[in-house]
Every structure is written in structure tokens, then in C-alpha cells.
Structure 1
């Protein structure tokens, strides 16, 4: 049996199990067992045991549950209300007015949560009722929330970048820093789109509120100080080299607890709920990572990644042709799987191919996250769409239509990153 036929067979086995509702981690491990049993020589049980042991005490992976816990704590605090209070006075007279609160609020919360779904839930719980009551159009409210919430995957500390870094043995600190400029670029694209829509059709946007004195705006912005300090403490400690990502994650949990206690509404019940939520999410991700590691090692024993990379290189695809094909592949795959599953399922096979055409693995990590962001607002399994549907009660297709322009803005951002790779590499190279 040729290598492409083996790859198709293993992929079919994996997809059948996933379609049958089997856990992603179990589907990965079963596929790995089939590969190593029938197409390689090592003892499967021994390989599985050493993989579980070797990948369950990674120091870099310790940052994952800590950042998840930080996001869970902030999710249950008054952060979102404070952000609206602090941002609204400055944005009330901008083109698009308070719709920019969705964009900037999601960007700020993304910088302290690392999760797209948590960002959509937290900001949406605050902004959707408030903006609806003020007369803003439903499609722009939902669209800005759905698109901007995807920034939780890119702006550090990003959970999915930690997963990619562990899976590919890339520096998590450098990946975090690499995500800063692309994240700010996407914020700019989203804000520009809202401004253009407001200029083209002024009747869409409610009238501007009365002007506030500068001192009054500063007074309202005091509520932003704690979260800005948290962002500076976490990201600044990584960028300056004072702390590793794991150390910064521990610092972030301590600062988040102080912030939650300072803002009020966070007691022992919320703390227990945050611990349980972080535990469930961390265990799920760790289980998937172990399954993916076992699949990756099994693929290595079969020689499939190396041989497939050589097979694809025989087609003579240029770097841009390969990236175009991979973009379509990842978006389609993301229509049926969550972002973390997409990353762990594909990196072991895809990475040798992209390295063979001279693509930097660090740059590819940011590219992959932006494509996964696109899939978060693509039906039928765009996670952000389901979160917003749960918040609003709207039909999923209605939510998807509202999010469609932001899918194309993410695609534009992806093209800019491909054409100008310095957007990704400039800050890491300066470290």
C-alpha cells in the first residue's frame, strides 16, 4: 500500500470516529494504534506509555492551566462592565460610535483571557443588551462581537499558541510576541470597517451623545487601570525577559485574583466555579495533546510525514500555492472541529511540508491561528457563532450572516501577513 493510500485510510478512520461522536483524544489514540500496529514495527503499548509519561510533565505546558484559570477568574468578575464604563466616553463620537466598544473590549479581554469563546461570552453578555437598547443595528452588533472575539486566539496570552508551541517545540514567548502586531492589525481592520459603514450610511448609527468634559472622561476611565496593569504585568514580563510564559501565567492568576476582589462580585462560590471550569478545560486539552503526541510519534515510525512531504514537493508547488491550498484545507477542517483539535491534528503532518518550502515555523503558527480564527465564525461548527446564539437566542444562520464581513476581513489580514511576513517576525526578532 502506497503512502498516500495509507494516509487516506488513516484519515478516513479518524473522521469516521469523530463523526460517530468519539472524543477527539480517543479518536487520535485509536488512529495512532492502527498506524503503529499495521504500518510500523515498535510495540504499541510501550510507545503509548512512554508518550504519556514524556508529554505529561512539560514545564512549558504548565502555563496552559494557569492562563485558563486567569481567564475563568476574570470571566466571573465585573471586568466587562468596567471596560464598557471606561471605553464608552471616548468612543461615543467616533464613526460607528459605541460599536467600537465591542472591538476594543474584545481586544482588551483577549489580552487577559486567551480564549475566543470566553471573550465572546464575557463581552457579549455586557454589550449586546446595552447596544441593542441604544438602537444600534443588530447585524453590526453581532458581527463586531463575532469577529472581534476571535482575537482571543491570537492576542497573547493565547491558549492555542501555547498548544502550537508545545506541539511543534517552538518558543511560546516568541509566539506570544509574534501575535501582538497581527492582533493590532486586525483590530484596526475591524474598526476601519465599522467606520466606513457609518460614513456610508449615517442613519445606521444612533446620534452622538452630548460632549463630555475631558476630566469626566478621565474619571470614567479609572476602571480600565486594573486591567491595563494586568496586561502590562503579564505581557510585559514576557517581552522584557523578566519571566517565562509559565512564570507570567502564575503572576497573571495572582493579579487576576486581586483584580476580581478589587472590583467586587467575586466570592468563594465564583472562585470554586473558576477552579472547576479551568480544571475541566485543562484536562480536556491535555488529553487531546497526549493523543496528538501519540499520533505524531506513530506517524514518525511509519515515515508518513516525511514521505508525504516529499510526495507533495514533487508537485512543485510554490510557497504561495501551498499556503492557498492549506488555507482552504484548514477553513474546511475548522467547519467541523474546534481550533485546538485542528492544530494538534495537523501540525505533525503539515509542518514538514511547510518547512520543505522554506516557511518559518514561528510565522506559520500565527498564520495557522488566523485561519483557525476564520473557522470560528464559519458554519456549521463555528464556536463563536454558537456562543453568540446562546447569548442572543437568534438563529445560527442569522448570526453567521452578520459575521460574514468579518470572515473576509480576517482573510484580508491573512493576505497581509503572507505578503508582509515582517508583521509577524519583527517583534520576535527584536527580542
Structure 2
């Protein structure tokens, strides 16, 4: 069989197994081993464990469990609710200040947790009930938190970017820096939309001429604002400590992840009264469970990619793409459309690890900076987290607020998908949005 035929069969069988409901890690591993049995020497099975171990033992992947522990420590305490409430006290004078406070809380929490689902869950559990109590429509409340949660895979320390750094063999520090300004850009666009949408809902409530919760305004004194500061400062100290250690050259990414985990544990011990092992047990169990899941997916995805490379599927696909002589921007468009389609069915980690061997060589040949592309690809994958059928954040929101219909959740997220699309266009038109910081700080 030709590589094209084998590749088509390989992809078709993979999708069939995934649609059958098999967990992603086991689906990729099972398909890879089945094709090894059929198309590769039997002796190749003897090195499966060795190859998977060598890939998983990558020093960059060491940061994942530590960043997961940091995110669990913050996400499973009252820290998310405290951060959110303190921000609202300071932002309530802004029209739609409650919505803006949710966006900023998601941004700050994402910069500590590194996980979209954790950000969505931690801020949404406090934010959605409060938004609805203040009269915001269910779809707007759900969409705001779902979209804000996506910042968890763009702002450092993003677990998704760690996996991209491994797959693309790029500097993790440069990737983290490259995600900062686009993350702030997206946050600003989300906040602007929150203000405009609030004003529309406020006008609609006024025209209705009835008593409506959105028409009521809370007032806070200077004393209230000063009293709220202690609930924000620990997060800023944690964020500045971790980022300062990483970008100040005092620690490697792995060491920074360890520092962040220790600081987060100290934070919840000092502020939230975690004193004994039973208080930390849920955090440790959650960290081990999520880290194990991610590492198994990484290992099986890399085995899947290895089989793809051995059977010349990835090389043939890359050669075919190059042979079409697409212009660089048409090539980029085709690849991003493929990522969008894959985002209908797969989470970001699997998309990166499955497609990297195919899409990165042609992009490198076309002259694109792979750090810049990592940022663009991450924003595109953010869209996949909030559009059906497998948008992870949609189901997180549905779990947090079961009384909001799934249709309302989906319709509430669609404007944010359009905002992300606009952000992708801006980053493509002005690459410096992503590359200015890494160029200035790292050369």
C-alpha cells in the first residue's frame, strides 16, 4: 500500500475509534499498536515501552505535574471566589463592571492555573450565580465564563504550550513570553464586549419599564476597596514571584513550576487554614489524577506520531503539502482550517501531538516562526474549547450551572468565537503582538 492509502486508513481508523467513545490516550495507543502489528516488523513491539518512556521522560514535561499542583491548590480553595469578589469591588463603577471583573479574574487565575477547565470551574462557580443574580442573561453569563476560561491555555504557564514546546522543539520560555500580549489582547477584547453587551441588556431592561436586577447598582466606599486589597495581593505576589523567577533568569521552567507549586501551597496554608495532610489530600489526588491523564495522552500521542513517521505518513503528507506550492499565507490558512475542524472533536493536547509531525516542517520551510505559529494555533484551539460538539468548556459550564440550557450556553459563546477569530487576524497582520516580548527579552 502507498503511504497515502496507509495514512488515509490510519486517520479513518483513529476517528472511528474516537467516535466509538474510547478515551483518547487508549484510542491513539491501540491504533498505533494495531498498525505496528500489521505494517511493521514484529520486533518493533519490543521497543514500545522504551520509546514511550524516552518521550515522556523529557525534562520539559516535568513542569506539567508541578503546574497542575499549583492550579489545583488555587482552584480547589476559596481563592477563585475571593479573587473575583475583590476585583468586582474595584470595578463596579465601570458599566458592566461585574462582567469585566469576571474577565480579569479569569485572566489572573489562568496565569496561575495553566488549565482552561480549572479556570472555568474556579471562577464560574462564583461568577455565574453572581452574574445571574445581578440580572445578566444566562447565555451572556455562561459565554463570558466559558470564553474567559480559554485564556488558561494561552497565558503562561499553559500546559498546552508546554506540549507544543516539546512537539515543536521550541524554547518554552519564548513561548510563554509570546503568549502574554496576545492573552492580554484577548482579555481586553472580551472585557470590551462585556461592557457593550451589558449596556445593551441595560437599555433593554429600561425600555421594558419593569423592575429588573440589572438596573440596580452596588456602591462601595474607599474603605471597602482598601479592605478588598488583601484578597488580591497574595495572587499578585504568587504571579510576580513565578514570572520573575522564570524571566529574570533565576530558575528554569521546571524549577519555576516547583516554586509556583510551593508558593501556592503556602498561600492556601496561610490564608485558608490548610494545616494537616487531610486538607491537602484532595489537592494531591486531583493533581496526580490530572497529571497522569496528561502524561498518558502525551506518551500515546508520541507513540502514534512515531508509527506515523515510520510508515512515512507524516513525511508524505508534508511533501504533498509542499508540492502544492501554496503561497505561505494560503498554506497557513489551510493548516488553521484543519486545526479548526479537528477542534470539533479533539482537545488541544491531542491536536498538537497528532499534527505536529505533518504541519510543522512545511511551515518551517515557508519561513514562519514556529513560536509565533504556536501562539496563533493556541488561539485557534481556544475556539475549539467553546464550540460544539466537543467544546470542553461548554460541558464545564453546564456542570456548574445545570439550569442554563445547553443551547443558551452555545449561543452565549458564539460572539467570543468571533472575537477570537478577529484576534487571530490581528496577530497574523501584526506578528509583533506575539514576538515583541520574546525578541526584546530573549533576543
The alignment status of 1:310 with 2:304, answered yes or no, reads no
- Hey, what does 2:435 align to over in structure 1? 425
Over residues 45-97 of structure 1, what are the superposed CA-to-partner deviations in whole Å (9 max), with x where a residue is unaligned? 24413312312322211100000011111112121222123211221111212
Q: Residues 15-414 of structure 1 correspond to what in structure 2 (within 5 A)? A: 15-40=15-40, 43-200=43-200, 202-203=202-203, 205-210=214-219, 212-213=221-222, 215-264=223-272, 266=274, 268-393=277-402, 394-414=404-424
The normalised TM-score by structure 2 is 0.92
Unaligned segments of structure 1, at least 5 residues: none
CA distance in 2, matches of 1:166, 1:8: 26
Asked if structure 2 preserves the Cα contact closer than 8 Å seen for 1:77 and 1:263, the reply is: no
2:5 is matched with: 5
Deviation by residue 1:73-124 (Cα, 9 ceiling, x = unmatched) = 1112121222123211221111212111110110011011011111111001
Larger mean Cα displacement after TM superposition, 112-121 or 95-104 = 95-104
Query: Which deviates more from structure 2 when the two are superposed, residues 76-85 or residues 374-383?
Result: 76-85
Judge which range, 41-50 or 99-108, deviates more.
Answer: 41-50
> In the TM superposition, what whole-angstrom CA distance separates every residue of 1:316-360 from its partner, at most 9, and x where no partner exists?
222222222222222221121222122222112221222222222
* Contact residue 77 and residue 265 of structure 1 kept, 8 A: no
CA distance in 2, matches of 1:271, 1:22: 32
Q: Taking structure 1 as reference, are residues 57 and 98 closer, same or farther at Cα in structure 2, changes over 3 Å only?
A: same
> What is the alpha-carbon distance in structure 2 between the residues aligned to residue 412 and residue 24 of structure 1?
31
Distance 2:382 2:215 in 1: 30
Q: TM-score, normalised by structure 1?
A: 0.95
Q: Which runs of 5+ in 2 are unaligned?
A: 206-213
Residue by residue, what CA displacement relative to the aligned partner does 1:216-268 show, whole Å, maximum 9, x if unpaired? 42332221000001111112211111111110111111110111112215454
Q: Any conservation in 1 of the 2:140–2:412 contact (CA below 8 Å)?
A: yes
Per the alignment, in what secondary structure is the counterpart of residue 98 of structure 1?
Answer: helix
The answer on whether the counterparts of 1:78 and 1:263 sit within 8 Å (CA) in structure 2 is no
Deviations 1:296-321 (A, max 9, x none): 22222222222211211222222222
Q: 1:382 to 1:259 in 2, by over 3 A?
A: same
Indicate the RMSD between aligned Cα atoms, in angstroms: 1.9
Q: Which segment is superposed worse, 63-72 or 323-332?
A: 323-332
Instruction: Give the CA deviation at 1:281.
Output: 1.0
Q: Return structure 1 stretches of 4+ with deviation > 4 angstroms.
A: 34-42
Contact 1:175 1:365 in 2 (8 A): yes
